[in-house]
A and B are shown apart, each in its own frame.
Chain A
């Protein structure tokens, strides 16, 4: 069962990633398309931040210690800390908040 999940997900993953080239080929994008394209990253990233920060274990919303870690990460980001520091701050703060509660 595990192997079926792995096989299907790897094939489907490749197909999803190939969807753009298969649909568009070598076509040049219009100016409007370029404007939309330039906004795909912030839109997807925001969805991922929100999802990873407050997704419940199975479904729904859960507001827990991750948010404390994310807040601390926000402070580190504002202080222009490099990526690895931001990551450590997020994990350490979350772990500390969990240990206290």
Chain B
């Protein structure tokens, strides 16, 4: 009993709402990264790393005159959440190990959530299609940020740093439809908040993902 699955081409449409918020975040990354990294590296980073969380985390370490190693660790911790997310999405991907590993490169927060059917399966076409749109927004936003740079001034004056939490909150509200999902969210919030007082960035997020284990109970 295979549920109908969207084709990647049709999945692109699901990603359209992601373009503007992602591009706005890309602009703020480009603006903030340029003084430290020059004009080319931020854009290359957005193409090959393609992860807002990790890129901002690494950037803030470098801005505080941290070492390359510390910046890498910050980025890795921020991205450790890909492990539970990849384990979760794997059964919904296609083909053997290698093909699935290639398709798994399209796992990104918002498309992962949009593709979540709520029953433990994911709509592969929605996830991969939406990821293409989000990637386009992220890279073009970064490029725009590098180009306008100083003209825009400090992105935090424009409140651009509030886009991330608002964006995730919107996705969360759509996602937490069941009682159990809301219970998981409450536990995850407590875990994240209590760890944030002392743990390095990223750790609270990966630890919060353990709240999904509430699903082991009937």
- Chain B residues, CB < 8 A from A77: 169-170, 173
Is the beta-carbon distance between B85 and A91 smaller than 8 angstroms?
no
Cβ contact within 8 Å between B181 and A39 = yes
Within 8 A of A (CB), among B50-98: 50-51, 53-55, 58, 60, 62, 64, 68, 71-72, 75-76, 79-91, 93, 95-97
Residues of A within 8 A of B208 (CB): 43-44, 46-47, 50
What's the least CB distance linking A86 to chain B, in Å?
Answer: 5
Interface size on A, as a range, is 35 or more
Q: B25-49: which residues lie under 8 A (CB-CB) from chain A?
A: 36-38, 41, 44-45, 48-49
Number of CB contacts from chain A to chain B under 8 A: 312
Query: In whole Å, how far is A22's beta carbon from the nearest beta carbon of chain B?
Result: 6
> In the complex, what distance in Å separates the CA atom of A99 from the CA atom of B158?
9
**Interchain CB contact (< 8 A) of B168 among A27, A37, A39, A49:** A49
Number of interface residues of B (CB under 8 A): 108
For A50, list chain B residues within 8 Å (CB).
188-189, 192-193, 196, 204, 208
Interface of A is mostly: helix
Measured between alpha carbons, how far is A99 from B153 in the docked complex, in Å? Answer: 14
B167 touches A87 (CB 8 A): yes
| Chain B, Cβ-Cβ closest to A3 | B41
Q: Are the C-beta atoms of A16 and B86 separated by less than 8 Å?
A: yes
A43 in complex: contacting residue of B103, B164, B169, B210, CB < 8 Å: B210
B44 contact from A6, A34, A55, A61, Cβ within 8 A: A6
> How far in angstroms is the closest Cβ of chain A from B107?
5
A40 touches B212 (CB 8 A): yes
**Residue B161, interface by CB 8 Å:** yes
